Amino acid sequence: MLDSNLLQEKGQEELCKLKRNNMRLSRLVIVLAFLSLSLLGLLAIIMTIGPKSGKTTESGTASEIAAAADIPEIKKEDKWQIILVNRDNAVPPDFTVDLIAFGSSLVDCRIADQLSDMTEAANKDGVMLTVCSGYRSVSQQREIYDSKKQSYLNLGYSEEASEINTCQYIQSPGASEHHTGLAVDLQTTGAVTLEENFADTPAYKWLDEHAEEYGFIERYPKEKSDITGVLWEPWHYRYVGVSNAKAIKTMGICLEEYVELVYN
Ligand SMILES: [Zn+2]
């Protein structure tokens, strides 16, 4: 009887030990689970407060591109270099421009030297490059616009369709960059003036390699027409200053995107 009691007590003792071990194991599992959840939570927080998602472009977020290219600081007196004139930003009514003759065209006097240096450098490299159009007044733009629109009306297009078609090729009066005197249309041998085959000429290749050195950018690149609102114009170049031109070229963006990065 005594042995049987002893055995029972020992059995209970073993049972208690087993229970204690089970409890320790359970606590360990709970602690490990808690630590794992905390780690996951921490990772989630890090990912949330990481690089903020901005406007995405072809090669990353706008902020990433800005950081990569290191946008130059633009002095107040140089802000004119990046003036944006497009379908959403008409040239201000009080806008004035100091013009100078450049060949048979007019340009803003602040870009004449660089434009001259660029065309002369191209010529020295055996590439013929001349300016066929520079500054245009709003009334001159209206004449060009109305003439193009009339050609669609003559073909039987409705008023609305004629407007839409014209807008694809001609900026509406007040929205043309040519009003600034900072934009030029270039021509060369071997290409029809103001036609896309300008892109097949040595002049286009030369500009692609050198325009930025003189502060000019291809203003309406093929892949940016949805942003610029203008179809590809490989002949249209815009002066933005050397440092801006180099940054824009490096980033592979258009002026609309650049201006947004500068001011935001
Ligand atoms: Zn043009």
Phi and psi angles of residue 105, each rounded to the nearest 5 degrees, phi first: -110, 175
DSSP3 helix / strand / coil % (the chain, rounded to 5): 55, 10, 30
pLDDT for 45: 44
Task: Give me the chain's average pLDDT, please.
Answer: 82
**What distance in angstroms lies between residue 185's CA and the mean position of ligand 1's atoms?**
5
- What would the mean pLDDT of 251-260 be, rounded to a whole number? 96
How far apart are alpha carbons 4 and 11 in whole angstroms? 10
What's the half-sphere exposure (Cβ side, CA atoms, 13 Å) at 35? 6
**What distance in angstroms lies between residue 169's CA and the mean position of ligand 1's atoms?**
10
CB 169 within 8 A of CB 148: yes
How far apart are alpha carbons 117 and 84 in whole angstroms? 24
Q: What is residue 157's DSSP assignment?
A: -
pLDDT for 19: 54
Residues by chain with Cβ below 5 Å of ion ligand 1: 185, 236
CB 103 within 8 A of CB 130: yes
CA distance between the termini of the chain: 91
Q: Provide the whole-model pTM.
A: 0.73
**What distance in angstroms lies between residue 39's CA and the mean position of ligand 1's atoms?**
58
**Which residues, 6+ apart, have CB-to-CB distance to 244 below 8 Å?**
72, 74, 81, 82, 215, 258
3-state secondary structure of 239: strand
CA 54 to chain centroid, in Å, comes to 13
**What distance in angstroms lies between residue 142's CA and the mean position of ligand 1's atoms?**
14
How far apart are alpha carbons 14 and 17 in whole angstroms? 5
Q: Mean pLDDT check: name the lowest of 32-46, 150-164, 167-181, 189-203.
A: 32-46
**What distance in angstroms lies between residue 44's CA and the mean position of ligand 1's atoms?**
50
**What distance in angstroms lies between residue 178's CA and the mean position of ligand 1's atoms?**
6
pLDDT for 255: 98
Residues with catalytic roles: 233
pLDDT for 62: 58
Statement: residue 263 has pLDDT above 50: yes
pLDDT band at 141 (very low <50, low <70, confident <90, very high): very high
Statement: residue 219 has pLDDT above 60: yes
